[in-house]
Amino acid sequence: MSEHADWTDDPLPEAPDDLLAASPQAAYLWGRVAADGAVDGDAVRVRVGGAPAAERVAALFGARDVDREREVTERAYAHDTDVTRTSDEYVVAAETPAARRGAAAFGLPTGGEASGRGASDGGASGGYRFSALDDHRRQLLRGIVEGCGTVCYKSEANAVGISVVHDDEALLATVRRHLDAAPVDAPYGDLNESSSGGYWFGVADDAGPALGEWLYEGSAASGLFAPLRRRKTLRSVERVRGGAGDGRRGEEEKEEGEEEGEEKEVGPS
């Protein structure tokens, strides 16, 4: 399927006034940085899978017009942001004092070390102190899972498989703590070594559909999502539920941040 099929007319996310203040936007953004980003002084870089996802991450820095035809932009935005393409991936880069302050506040690796690569390569791992974002746990986990998670439909078991893969055990421990505190039941297995030298764990198959639905509840209204990953996750859920559709049926269109009472995607979306 052409990448252009994954563009969506759902609104782009609103750039927050303060990238460090607790908000759905900040939680999603720093989740993506922790999963597959790097901070070096005032510079922050986030690796994403495609142009539609890059547009949405860039919007959080004030970008509003990623070129959908050329699929590459290099222009100034609110935080001196640009989006560039390397091979089949995109990197959103921004220069902002919030990068340095965010790394300190949330315990992210610094010095240009990509999140998750410090532990296995001999560098310093992060502390990942995200307790200030507890009220926006859904968006934080969504950003992390989109950045370093896998989602697949298991046809033989008729189940949704959700796993998180990262080089830094500390981030995976943080993810597990937030899953424990989530309003949906999401038991998970033991930590395992991955073939790439990192670590991974998987959510129980029978918990996959409910977790997938919860992760993307309200996402259309907020714009905080990677279009391809959301479509694949919700379509997998629909297959388990026995339905058919475009991957959006059953999603509640309330604003994020309100009080709550056989396809595989690997790596960043």
Does the predicted TM-score (pTM) go above 0.85?
Answer: no
**Number of compact structural domains in the chain:** 2
Query: Residue for token digits 């999140």?
Result: 115
Does residue 157 sit in the same domain as residue 233? Answer: yes
- Give yes or no for a contact between 58 and 90, defined as CB atoms under 8 angstroms apart: no
194-228 core/surface letters (b: 16 or more CB in 10 A; e: else): eeeebbbbbbeeebbbbbbbbbbbbbbbbbbbbbb
User: Last residue of a domain, which of 132, 154, 180?
Assistant: 132
pLDDT in tens, 36-45: 999 999 999 9
Does residue 76 sit in the same domain as residue 188? Answer: no
Return the higher-pLDDT residue of 8 and 154.
154
Does residue 141 sit in the same domain as residue 127? Answer: no
Residue 49 scores a pLDDT above 90:
no
How far apart CA 160 and CA 209 sit, in angstroms, is 6
Can you read off the two tokens belonging to residue 202? 């998987």
User: Last residue of a domain, which of 117, 132, 147?
Assistant: 132
- Give yes or no for a contact between 138 and 259, defined as CB atoms under 8 angstroms apart: no
Residue 139 scores a pLDDT above 60:
yes
Q: Looking at residue 159, what DSSP letter applies?
A: E
Give the pLDDT band (50/70/90) at residue 66: very low
Give the pLDDT band (50/70/90) at residue 9: confident
Does residue 226 sit in the same domain as residue 166? Answer: yes
Does residue 73 sit in the same domain as residue 175? Answer: no
CATH (domain of 244): 3.10.28.10
How far apart CA 193 and CA 241 sit, in angstroms, is 32
How far apart CA 31 and CA 42 sit, in angstroms, is 18
Q: Backbone phi, then psi, for 91, in 5-degree steps?
A: -125, 125
Does residue 128 sit in the same domain as residue 143? Answer: no
Does residue 124 sit in the same domain as residue 12? Answer: yes
Q: List residues bridging with 82 in a β-sheet.
A: 93
Nearest Cα to Cα of residue 86 among 122, 126, 46, 119: 46
Does residue 172 sit in the same domain as residue 74? Answer: no
| Rounded percentage of the chain residues whose pLDDT exceeds 70 | 72
- pLDDT mean over 152-170: 93
Does residue 42 sit in the same domain as residue 93? Answer: yes
How far apart CA 269 and CA 264 sit, in angstroms, is 11
- Give yes or no for a contact between 217 and 138, defined as CB atoms under 8 angstroms apart: yes
Does residue 223 sit in the same domain as residue 117? Answer: no
Domain, as residue range, for 64: 3-132
Does residue 101 sit in the same domain as residue 142? Answer: no
Does residue 198 sit in the same domain as residue 141? Answer: yes
How far apart CA 109 and CA 262 sit, in angstroms, is 35
User: Last residue of a domain, which of 132, 158, 186?
Assistant: 132
Per the prediction, the chain carries an average pLDDT of 81
Nearest Cα to Cα of residue 48 among 69, 14, 71, 15: 71
How far apart CA 219 and CA 225 sit, in angstroms, is 6
